[in-house]
C-alpha cells in the first residue's frame, strides 16, 4: 500500500481538528467510550456541565457509572445497549441518568459505532429531556386529576381539587379559585392554598366588579399573564406582595389565580399546564351546574306528574263508580259509551305520565344485553299471532328499565299497525340497533310526524307510544328515525348508542 503523502496527512489532521471542534462545541453532551469495557475515553464540555464531572474525572468512569442504578436503568442494561451499537445497530432510548451529586435526571441517548485510532469505539450523544419528562408526567397527573374533577359533587369540591392540583402537580403553591357570586356581584374566594392563607392571614379577599387585573381578565374571558404585576397599569394594590401572576378565567363561572413572589417566575410550560388545569376545572364546574339543573328539572317533573296523577285519577274513579251505580237504576247503551270514555281517559293518563317521566335525562347506565331485553319485552306485550326475530347481539350501555319500555312500545306499535300476524325483527346497527316489521309501513311524509305527541292512526291509540320512544332515546342522548324496511314495512333505527366489546 502506498504511504500517505504530506498533503494527505495535512488533510487528515484538518479533518480531525474540525471533528474535535464539533465534539466540544455542540449543545448536546458527547462522550466516546470503549465498545468492550464501557470505559469513557473522552467527553466534551457540555457533558462536564450536564453531569458535574471534570473531563479528567469523567475519564475514570464507565458509562454504567452515569446511570441511576435502579432497574431498568442499570450498568448491565447500559452495557447491553453499548454492545448492540458496537455491532452496528444504532441505539436510541430514554434513560434515567445520575450526576456527580447523585441527582437523577432524564436524558435521551443516541449510540453509534465509531472507529477511532483503529479501535472499536461507541460515540454517545446525550440530550437533557428532564423538563420534557416533567411536563409529560404533569400532564398525566392532570389527566388523573380531571377524573376527580369530573366526579366532584359540588363547586366547592371542584375548587378544592383544582387548588390542590395547582400546588401538588404544577408546583405553583400560591393559588386560589374564585367563583362569581351574583348577589354580591363579586368573585368570592372558594378554595385557596395554605401559602395564600399565610399571605393574607386568612382567606383571600373578594374581587369586586371592576377591581384590578383579576376582574379585567374575568370580564374579558381571556387568560392574562404578568411578569411583574406591581408595574401593571390597572393593578388593584400596588403594594401587593405578589410579582408574577396568572389569571385564568373559568368561563363565566369564576377565575383561577396563580401567583409568585418572584418576578418573571412563570415560563411557557407553567402557563401551558395551568391553562390545561383551568380548562378541566371549567368543564367540571359546567358539569356540576348542568347536573344541578337536571336535578331541579326532574324534581319539578316528579312533583307535576304526582299532582296530575292524583288530581285526575280521583275524579275519574268517582265517575267510574257513578256509572256502576247508574247501571243498577237503568239499562242504557249510553253508559257503555261513558265507560269506554273512562277507560280511554285512564289510558291517556298512564301514557301521559309515562311520557313525562321518560323525559328525565339518563344519568346512570349499565351494560345491557340487547337480545335478552328484546326477548323479555315480548313476554309483557300482547302480541297475538305476531312473531319475534331477536337477531341483536352484544351489549350496549343503557338504562335497562327505559330501554325495555322503548322496545315494548315499538313492539306494541308494530302489532297495532302491522296486523296480528306481523313479524318483528330486532337487529344490530354499527352505532345502535333497529326494530323492523313487515307491516304496511309508514308513508314518507309521516315518518317524522309519527313521533309527535298525540299523533295516532289507530282508533284505540293514545298517540303517546312513539312520542315516548323519542323521549327515551333523547334522554339517553340517542337518535331515533323511522325508515322503510327492505322488502316493505317499517324500520325504526336507534343510533348514537354506545356498544361494548364482547
Beta strands 40-43 and 91-98 are unpaired
| Predicted local confidence at residue 463, as pLDDT | 67
Most confident by average pLDDT, 21-35, 105-119, 322-336, 487-501: 487-501
Q: Name the residue among 388, 381, 358 with its Cα closest to residue 464.
A: 358
| Predicted local confidence at residue 33, as pLDDT | 87
Please state, in angstroms and rounded to a whole number, the distance separating the CA atoms of residues 433 and 442: 19
| Predicted local confidence at residue 2, as pLDDT | 32
Alpha helices in 33-129 (DSSP H): 45-51, 55-58, 75-86
Q: Name the residue among 348, 373, 396 with its Cα closest to residue 494.
A: 396
What is the chain's mean pLDDT, rounded? 83
Band the pLDDT of 15: cuts 50, 70, 90: very low
Q: Is pLDDT at 358 greater than 70 in this prediction?
A: no
Contact criterion met (CB below 8 Å) for 433 and 370: yes
Please state, in angstroms and rounded to a whole number, the distance separating the CA atoms of residues 251 and 290: 14
DSSP letter (8 states) at residue 59 = T
Q: Is pLDDT at 206 greater than 90 in this prediction?
A: yes
Please state, in angstroms and rounded to a whole number, the distance separating the CA atoms of residues 309 and 333: 29
Q: Residue 458: which residues within 8 A CB-CB, separation 6 or more? A: 416, 417
- Three cell numbers written together for 75: 450498568
- Confirm whether pTM is higher than 0.85: no
Pick the CATH number of 134-291 from 1.20.1250.40, 3.30.450.40, 3.10.690.10, 3.40.50.1820: 3.30.450.40
Q: How many CB atoms lie within 10 A of CB 211?
A: 16
Q: Name the residue among 166, 159, 236, 241 with its Cα closest to residue 200.
A: 241
Beta strands 91-98 and 423-429 are unpaired
pLDDT > 70 in the chain, percent = 87
Give the architecture-level CATH label for domain 366-500: 2-Layer Sandwich (3.30)
| Predicted local confidence at residue 384, as pLDDT | 67
CATH C-level class of 11-128? alpha beta
- Three cell numbers written together for 33: 467510550
Q: Name the residue among 245, 252, 244, 192 with its Cα closest to residue 222.
A: 252
| Predicted local confidence at residue 255, as pLDDT | 96
Q: Is pLDDT at 256 greater than 90 in this prediction?
A: yes
Contact criterion met (CB below 8 Å) for 415 and 490: no
| Predicted local confidence at residue 186, as pLDDT | 95
423-449 average pLDDT score: 90
Band the pLDDT of 50: cuts 50, 70, 90: very high
> How far is CA 154 from each of CA 126, 280, 284, 290, 360, rounded to the nearest angstrom?
48, 15, 9, 11, 21
- Residue with the bigger pLDDT between 106 and 12: it is 106
Q: Is pLDDT at 100 greater than 90 in this prediction?
A: yes
- Three cell numbers written together for 116: 477511532
CB neighbour class for 33 (10 Å; exposed up to 12, middle 13-18, buried from 19): buried
280-305 average pLDDT score: 83
Q: Is pLDDT at 11 greater than 50 in this prediction?
A: no
Amino acid at each position: 500500500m502506498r504511504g500517505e503523502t504530506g498533503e494527505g496527512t495535512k488533510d487528515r489532521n484538518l479533518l480531525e481538528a474540525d471533528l474535535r471542534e464539533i465534539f466540544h462545541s455542540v449543545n448536546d453532551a458527547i462522550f466516546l467510550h470503549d465498545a468492550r469495557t464501557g470505559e469513557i475515553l473522552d467527553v466534551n464540555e457540555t457533558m462536564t456541565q450536564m453531569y458535574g464531572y471534570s473531563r479528567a474525572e469523567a475519564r475514570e468512569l464507565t458509562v454504567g457509572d452515569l446511570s441511576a442504578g435502579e432497574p431498568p436503568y442499570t450498568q448491565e442494561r447500559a452495557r447491553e445497549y453499548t454492545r448492540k451499537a458496537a455491532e452496528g445497530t444504532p441505539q436510541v432510548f430514554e434513560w434515567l441518568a445520575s450526576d456527580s451529586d447523585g441527582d437523577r435526571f432524564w436524558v435521551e441517548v443516541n449510540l453509534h459505532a465509531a472507529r477511532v485510532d483503529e479501535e472499536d469505539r461507541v460515540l454517545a450523544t446525550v440530550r437533557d429531556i428532564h423538563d420534557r419528562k416533567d411536563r409529560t408526567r404533569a400532564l398525566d397527573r392532570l389527566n388523573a386529576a380531571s377524573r376527580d374533577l369530573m366526579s366532584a359533587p359540588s363547586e366547592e369540591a371542584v375548587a378544592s381539587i383544582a387548588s390542590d392540583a395547582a400546588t401538588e402537580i404544577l408546583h405553583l403553591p400560591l393559588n386560589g379559585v374564585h367563583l362569581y357570586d351574583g348577589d354580591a356581584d363579586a368573585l368570592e374566594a372558594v378554595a385557596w392554598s395554605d401559602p395564600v392563607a399565610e399571605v393574607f392571614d386568612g382567606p383571600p379577599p373578594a374581587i369586586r366588579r371592576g377591581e384590578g387585573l383579576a376582574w379585567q381578565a374575568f370580564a374579558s374571558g381571556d387568560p392574562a399573564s404578568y411578569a411583574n404585576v406591581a408595574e401593571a397599569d390597572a393593578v388593584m394594590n400596588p403594594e401587593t406582595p405578589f410579582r408574577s401572576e396568572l389569571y385564568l378565567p373559568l368561563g363565566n363561572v369564576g377565575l383561577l389565580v396563580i401567583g409568585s413572589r418572584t418576578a418573571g417566575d412563570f415560563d411557557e410550560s407553567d402557563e401551558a399546564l395551568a391553562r390545561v388545569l383551568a380548562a378541566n376545572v371549567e368543564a367540571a364546574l359546567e358539569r356540576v351546574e348542568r347536573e344541578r339543573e337536571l336535578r331541579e328539572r326532574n324534581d319539578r317533573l316528579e312533583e307535576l306528574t304526582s299532582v296530575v296523577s292524583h288530581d285526575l285519577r280521583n275524579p275519574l274513579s268517582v265517575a267510574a263508580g257513578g256509572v256502576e251505580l247508574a247501571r243498577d237504576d237503568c239499562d242504557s247503551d249510553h253508559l257503555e259509551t261513558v265507560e269506554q270514555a273512562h277507560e280511554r281517559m285512564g289510558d291517556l293518563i298512564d301514557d301521559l305520565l309515562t311520557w313525562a317521566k321518560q323525559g328525565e335525562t339518563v344519568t346512570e347506565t349499565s351494560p345491557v344485553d340487547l337480545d335478552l331485553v328484546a326477548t323479555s319485552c315480548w313476554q309483557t306485550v300482547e302480541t297475538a299471532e305476531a312473531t319475534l326475530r331477536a337477531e341483536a347481539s352484544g351489549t350496549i350501555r343503557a338504562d335497562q328499565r327505559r330501554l325495555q319500555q322503548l322496545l315494548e312500545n315499538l313492539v306494541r306499535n308494530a302489532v297495532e299497525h302491522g296486523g296480528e300476524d306481523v313479524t318483528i325483527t330486532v337487529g344490530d346497527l354499527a352505532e345502535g340497533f333497529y326494530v323492523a316489521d313487515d307491516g304496511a309501513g309508514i308513508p314518507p311524509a309521516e315518518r317524522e310526524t309519527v313521533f309527535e305527541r298525540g299523533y295516532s292512526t289507530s282508533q284505540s291509540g293514545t298517540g303517546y307510544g312513539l312520542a315516548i320512544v323519542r323521549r327515551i332515546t333523547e334522554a339517553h342522548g340517542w337518535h331515533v328515525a323511522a325508515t322503510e324496511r327492505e322488502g316493505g314495512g317499517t324500520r325504526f333505527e336507534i343510533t348514537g348508542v354506545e356498544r361494548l366489546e364482547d
